[in-house]
Amino acid sequence: MKNKLKLIFLFLFCFSVSVFCQNISDYYFELKNNFDIEKIEIPFQPDYSNINRWALIPADNSKYKVDVFFVYPTIFAGEGFKLMDVTDEKLVKKATNLSKYYTGIFEGNANVYAPLYRQASIELLALDKENQTELLMTAFSDIMNSFEFYLNHYNKGKPFILAGFSQGSAMILELMKIRLRDKNLQNKLVAAYIIGYSVTEDDLKQYPWLKMAESASDIGCIISYNTQVAANGYSAVFHKKSKAINPISWKTNNVPSSKKHYKGAVIYDYENNKFIKSRPFETAYLEFGSNALVVDVDTNQYKGGQDIFKEGVLHVYDYMFFYNNLKENAAVRINNYLKKHKIK
């Protein structure tokens, strides 16, 4: 199994690294040149029978008929090559706050589980694919273990949603490639949110149980897109031949969404843990050729790329810009699933 997982990650990150290296800063070059895998400290493996190893876990898991299994995005950087220590109180608080924000789109409709995991710091994107694979294997093993624990101890036969963002979405995609081969789990899937990462045509061909959303009401499908300005190329998370859906129109064509259908943004201020409602644009469209989700915003005001993306990549806003549309639609998909399966 370990060798199989390594091969999967080699494939997953091969293209990401090649694109990323075109935009890498001097800081990352210096880190890469001084990298020694033997010096990377591997934190202890989380025990998911301990509720303190979950960023989010419901007090009452019978409150809703549907669960959400969520994997949070990259939450730390600037410390060199590291894996998250799930006992670090500062990082645990950040993981918890971010998980609450992102899973807020399911509020009032689902029980939410979000495992703490030994994720990679953002600097790992500077490495070659083999070293990335070794270190990301640790993160993915935690996601696999936590998902199995969730299924065996918490799920109790309920339908579920898989969701992630950025590194978390990459983890969800790989989890689906392996575990959703199981037809019983396929039937339990309400939807999967692989936002801020790419699901490609090759993924769909190689793993035929992966199905993309094509409308506002589909279930058992994947919702995915990557936001940026027009004609901005590809990035470490946005790959060639990516499949996507417009989260305003809920269509997969290249027609701009209607102004009346946009419900507005909920921008999360990480530092102050505040939420800012705004309307940064009126419409969005899937770009012909690349399939990027394109919006027209002032990139001086909305700097969504951190240090690892070029200007115009609006990665950090993938949920924020479309928060209300995502929340409204999540309820639709959940209700459609419950209705179809006659769950009351």
For residue 159, what are the contacts with CB-CB under 8 A and spacing of at least 6? 65, 66, 67, 188, 189, 190, 337, 338, 341, 343
Mean pLDDT of 188-197: 97
Write down the pLDDT at residue 230. Answer: 97
DSSP code of 73? -
Cβ neighbours of 3 (radius 10 Å) = 7
Could you tell me if 173 and 194 are in contact, meaning their C-beta atoms sit under 8 angstroms apart? yes
The single-letter code of the amino acid at 289 is G
At 31, the pLDDT band (50, 70, 90 cuts) reads low
What would the pLDDT profile of 18-28 be if each residue is shown by its tens digit? 333 344 456 55
Strands 67-71, 293-294: parallel, antiparallel or unpaired by DSSP?
Answer: unpaired
What would the pLDDT profile of 227-272 be if each residue is shown by its tens digit? 999 999 998 889 999 999 999 999 999 999 999 999 999 999 888 8
Instruction: Give the helix/strand (H/E) hosting 189.
Output: strand 189-195
The single-letter code of the amino acid at 312 is G
The domain ranges of the chain are 2-340
- Structure-token pair, residue 127: 């490495």
18/38 Cα distance (integer angstroms): 24
255/249 Cα distance (integer angstroms): 9
Share above pLDDT 90 across residues of the chain, in percent, rounded to a whole number: 74
Instruction: Give the helix/strand (H/E) hosting 134.
Output: helix 129-150
The single-letter code of the amino acid at 149 is F
Strands 189-195, 221-223: parallel, antiparallel or unpaired by DSSP?
Answer: parallel
The pTM of this model reads 0.91
At 16, the pLDDT band (50, 70, 90 cuts) reads very low
The pLDDT of residue 60 is above 80:
yes
- Structure-token pair, residue 187: 């039937």
Closest CA to 191 of 161, 171, 216: 161
DSSP code of 155? I
278/318 Cα distance (integer angstroms): 14
Could you tell me the end-to-end alpha-carbon distance of the chain, in angstroms, rounded to an integer? 39
What would the pLDDT profile of 275-330 be if each residue is shown by its tens digit? 999 999 999 999 999 999 999 999 988 986 656 788 899 999 999 999 999 999 99
Q: In terms of DSSP H, where are the helices of the chain?
A: 2-20, 26-33, 89-102, 129-150, 167-179, 183-188, 201-206, 323-340
- Collapsing DSSP states into helix, strand and coil, what is residue 339? helix
What would the pLDDT profile of 137-167 be if each residue is shown by its tens digit? 899 999 999 999 999 999 999 999 999 999 9
The single-letter code of the amino acid at 131 is N
Angle at 244 between CA 170 and CA 229, to 5 degrees: 95
